[in-house]
Amino acid sequence: MPAAYCMVQINVHNAEEYAKYAELAGPAVAKFGGEFLARGGRCVTKEGPEQLRNVIVKFPDYDTAVEFYDSPEYVEALNFALAEGVSTRNYTIVEGV
């Protein structure tokens, strides 16, 4: 099975609250065999709306990536990230080739 990638584009509006998400998200990623390939490094937007923070996470396969996103551990983290005024995000799971 090919690997899968979670591609997340984020604008953080409240860094203090978003830090609570990050504390929980990292261990949840590890639990499901995820590996951070990019996590907030330098970026430039060439097309589309600018997103200030970009993250790419590799998972062993597509089903595991979906299971991770829906897991209680990650849902707990998302409660902080998706709270009103904390961040604006685009989150895509894509199967690799």
- pLDDT at res. 30: 98
Place of tokens 């998302």: 78
Looking at residue 53, what DSSP letter applies?
A: E
pLDDT means per 10 residues, the chain with 97 residues, are 96 95 96 96 92 95 98 96 94 97
Measured in Å, how far apart are the chain's first and last C-alpha atoms? 9
- pLDDT at res. 6: 98
Q: What is the tens place of the pLDDT at every residue in 6-32?
A: 999 999 999 999 999 999 999 999 999
Six token digits for residue 50:
């600018």
Looking at residue 50, which CATH number applies to its domain? 3.30.70.100
What does pTM read for this prediction?
A: 0.92
How many folded domains does the chain comprise? 1
- pLDDT at res. 64: 98
**Domain limits for position 64:** 4-95
